[in-house]
């Protein structure tokens, strides 16, 4: 259910409030929602997941990535959450947006683009098309 990309980050499809306790039991210290509220009817709100995360003793951040895509503020917010310490669980509808945002944030913190691409691929996500931009971000760090 949780796909570990590195020792510090895992991604998942939409989680339920009860998954927060499972995440804590597995050693995660934070949950990041990359899904906008009301993307589909019936999904748990970020507030509901955040409350369950707090109850489980986890940090929680809501960095929604919608149809407009990822912007610099999203990358900076994700990078700050990653810098606060992990392991972190990030979720969206399928895990793809969370993986893409993690890749960009990791590169913005000076991460090696090839290692980022390989970690995503090992988790079943293809971010290879972003490799030139990841290198550019890493070079600016």
* Segment 54-75, tens digit of pLDDT: 999 999 999 999 888 999 999 9
Instruction: Please name the residues in contact with 115: beta carbons below 8 A apart, sequence gap of 6 or more.
Output: none
- Alpha-carbon distance 31 to 45, whole Å? 13
pLDDT at 86 exceeding the cut of 90: no
Contacts of 139 (CB under 8 A, 6+ apart): none
Q: Residues 130, 96: contact at Cβ < 8 Å?
A: no
- The pLDDT-based confidence of 87 (bands split at 50, 70, 90) is very high
- The per-residue DSSP string of 126-138 comes to --GGGHHHHHHHH
Supply the mean pLDDT for the chain: 96
3-140 folds as: 3.90.190
Q: What is the pTM of this model?
A: 0.96
Domain boundaries, the chain: 3-140
Looking at the DSSP assignment, which residues form a beta bridge with residue 3? 11
Share of the chain above pLDDT 90, in %: 95
């Amino acid at each position: 259910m949780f796909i570990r990309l590195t020792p510090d980050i895992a991604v998942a499809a939409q989680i339920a409030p009860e998954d927060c306790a499972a995440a804590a039991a597995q050693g995660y210290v934070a949950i990041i929602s990359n899904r906008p509220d009301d993307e589909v009817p019936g999904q748990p709100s970020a507030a509901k997941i955040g409350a369950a995360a707090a109850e489980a003793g986890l940090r929680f951040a809501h960095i929604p990535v919608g149809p407009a895509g990822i912007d610099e503020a999203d990358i900076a917010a994700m990078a700050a959450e990653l810098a606060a310490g992990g392991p972190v669980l990030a979720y969206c509808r399928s895990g793809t947006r969370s993986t893409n945002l993690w890749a960009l944030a990791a590169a913005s913190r000076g991460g090696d683009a090839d290692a980022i691409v390989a970690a995503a691929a090992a988790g079943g996500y293809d971010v290879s098309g972003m490799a030139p931009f990841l290198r550019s971000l890493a070079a600016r760090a």
